[in-house]
Copies of this chain bind each other. A is one copy, B any other.
């Protein structure tokens, strides 16, 4: 049966540095240095002109979080929404029996809060120091009615979120531990600002990885060790990864 790629990945041996290095933790005032907002990697503000950005500016409030703090808590009201400006965060759902599932890792430009539900049924926790723009949901939605580009961007964000969830379902349903780890590495390579095959600085710990991939810390650790022993990756230190055989890792990660 002929099938389509769910996500096309095509890597040479080169090191694709796919993204700008914004959101590297520097904390300039968001409306003095607009590079964040104007960057076309930022889904929310893409293709908007200066006047439109100014309108958005007036609605936003900058929020700064240290490591391991909640941007919003599970069950919190959805009247506030967020756009990550720098740092990394995780969307997590913790069930009544205490199990934790990470639903996504968030990076600069990622948006949180596109839902018409009254409460978040997940929490967003910072993994590193995080800065984020905060909006009143209704204000932003009202503005979106006036700025078609903004409305389209919100729609695109929703599509992308759904598309990523489909990938994760496929990953958890069909792939073994090694493939899941490889998927995460490729995912980080594509999304983590500053990440190159030579050096991926993991913003999350092993427990976070485990909770994202539906594994235990031990299995994550063992899988990483095996990838290392097989010569596919190198570990300069525990939270820094060098991909040695990008083709092989990308191949294992493939979920097309």
Q: Using A101-B174, A174-B101 as known contacts, say yes or no to A75 and B162 having CB atoms under 8 A apart.
A: no
Q: Using A2-B75, A169-B103 as known contacts, say yes or no to A162 and B162 having CB atoms under 8 A apart.
A: yes
| A174–chain B nearest beta-carbon distance, Å | 5
Contact with B along A113-146 (1 / 0, CB 8 A): 0011101111000000000000000000000000
Judging by beta carbons under 8 Å apart, are A95 and B170 in contact?
Answer: yes
A98 interfacial contact with B, CB 8 Å: yes
Contact with B along A214-238 (1 / 0, CB 8 A): 1000000000000000000000000
A165 interfacial contact with B, CB 8 Å: yes
A161 interfacial contact with B, CB 8 Å: yes
Query: Closest residue to A100 on the B side, CB-wise?
Result: B174
Residues of chain B lying within 8 A (CB to CB) of residue A174: 95, 99, 101, 214
Judging by beta carbons under 8 Å apart, are A173 and B1 in contact?
Answer: no
Q: Using A75-B4, A256-B95 as known contacts, say yes or no to A173 and B170 having CB atoms under 8 A apart.
A: no
Binds B, one of A50-58, A151-159, A191-199: A151-159
Q: Of B120, B165, B211, B255, which is within 8 A of A165 by CB?
A: B165
| A10–chain B nearest beta-carbon distance, Å | 13
Residues of chain B lying within 8 A (CB to CB) of residue A254: 95-97
Q: Of B3, B75, B101, B163, which is within 8 A of A170 by CB?
A: B101
Residues of chain B lying within 8 A (CB to CB) of residue A99: 174
| A154–chain B nearest beta-carbon distance, Å | 10
Bound Cα distance A75, B75 (Å): 37
Query: Closest residue to A166 on the B side, CB-wise?
Result: B103
Bound Cα distance A255, B93 (Å): 10
Query: Can you list 15 A-B pairs with a CB-CB distance of less than 8 A?
Result: A1-B98, A4-B75, A6-B121, A93-B166, A93-B170, A95-B174, A101-B174, A103-B166, A115-B159, A117-B159, A165-B165, A165-B166, A168-B169, A169-B169, A173-B214
Which 10 A-B pairs give the minimum distances between C-beta atoms?
A173-B214, A4-B75, A172-B172, A165-B165, A96-B256, A3-B94, A99-B174, A101-B173, A101-B170, A6-B121
